[in-house]
Structure 1
Amino acid sequence: MSNPPTEFYSAERWQNWIGRIQDEEIDPEDEDSARLLLNLQDDTAIAVAKIVAAYDDGEIDQETALEEIQDVRDIVLSEVDLADEEKLILVDGVQTSLVCVFFAAEEYIADGPAEDGTVDDYVGAAADAESEEDLDAALGYAAQAGTLIIDGEELDMTMAEELEYGLVTEWINGLDSLQSAMSDPEVVEEDE
Structure 2
Amino acid sequence: MSNPPGEYYTEERWQNWLGRIREEDIDAEEEDSARLLLNLQDDTAIAVAKIITDYDDGELDEERALSEIEDIEQIVLAELDFENEEKAMLVDGVQTSLMCVFYAAEEYIAGGPAEEGTIEEYVQAAADAEAEEDMDAALGYCVQAGTLVIDGAEMDIGMSEDLEFGFVAEWVNGLDSLQTAMSDPEVVEEEDADE
Question: How does the TM-score come out when normalised to structure 2?
Answer: 0.96
Contact in 2 for aligned 1:3/1:59 (Cα 8 Å): no
Which one-letter code corresponds to 1:115 in the other structure? E
Aligned to 2:172, the other structure's residue is in SS state: helix
Q: Structure 1, residues 155-179: CA drift from partner, whole Å, max 9, x if none?
A: 1111111111110000000000000
Q: Structure 1, residues 117-146: CA drift from partner, whole Å, max 9, x if none?
A: 111111111111111111001001000000
In structure 2, the residue matched to 1:89 is 89
In structure 2, the residue matched to 1:14 is 14
Contact in 2 for aligned 1:122/1:141 (Cα 8 Å): yes
Aligned-partner Cα distance in 1 for 2:98–2:45: 7
Q: Structure 1, residues 40-82: CA drift from partner, whole Å, max 9, x if none?
A: 0000000000010010000010000000010000000001221
Contact in 2 for aligned 1:3/1:60 (Cα 8 Å): no
In structure 1, the residue matched to 2:176 is 176
In structure 2, the residue matched to 1:66 is 66
Which one-letter code corresponds to 1:183 in the other structure? S
Aligned-partner Cα distance in 1 for 2:136–2:94: 19
In structure 2, the residue matched to 1:3 is 2
Aligned to 2:191, the other structure's residue is in SS state: coil
Gap runs ≥5 in structure 1: none
Percent identity of paired positions between Structure 1 and Structure 2 = 70
Aligned-partner Cα distance in 2 for 1:48–1:91: 18
Which one-letter code corresponds to 2:191 in the other structure? D
Question: How does the TM-score come out when normalised to structure 1?
Answer: 0.97
Q: Structure 1, residues 76-121: CA drift from partner, whole Å, max 9, x if none?
A: 0001221111100000000000010000000000000001111111
In structure 2, the residue matched to 1:191 is 191
In structure 2, the residue matched to 1:57 is 57
In structure 1, the residue matched to 2:40 is 40
In structure 1, the residue matched to 2:145 is 145
In structure 2, the residue matched to 1:25 is 25
Contact in 2 for aligned 1:113/1:151 (Cα 8 Å): yes
Please state how far the C-alpha of 1:190 moved relative to its aligned partner: 1.4
Aligned-partner Cα distance in 2 for 1:93–1:163: 16
Instruction: Give the aligned CA root-mean-square deviation in angstroms.
Output: 0.9
Whether 1:110 aligns to 2:107 is no
Aligned-partner Cα distance in 1 for 2:81–2:134: 30
Aligned to 1:97, the other structure's residue is in SS state: helix
Which one-letter code corresponds to 1:30 in the other structure? E
Aligned-partner Cα distance in 2 for 1:44–1:123: 22
Total equivalences in the alignment: 191
Aligned-partner Cα distance in 1 for 2:169–2:112: 24
Aligned to 2:113, the other structure's residue is in SS state: coil
User: Which of structure 1's runs of 4+ aligned residues deviate more than 3 A?
Assistant: none
Gap runs ≥5 in structure 2: none
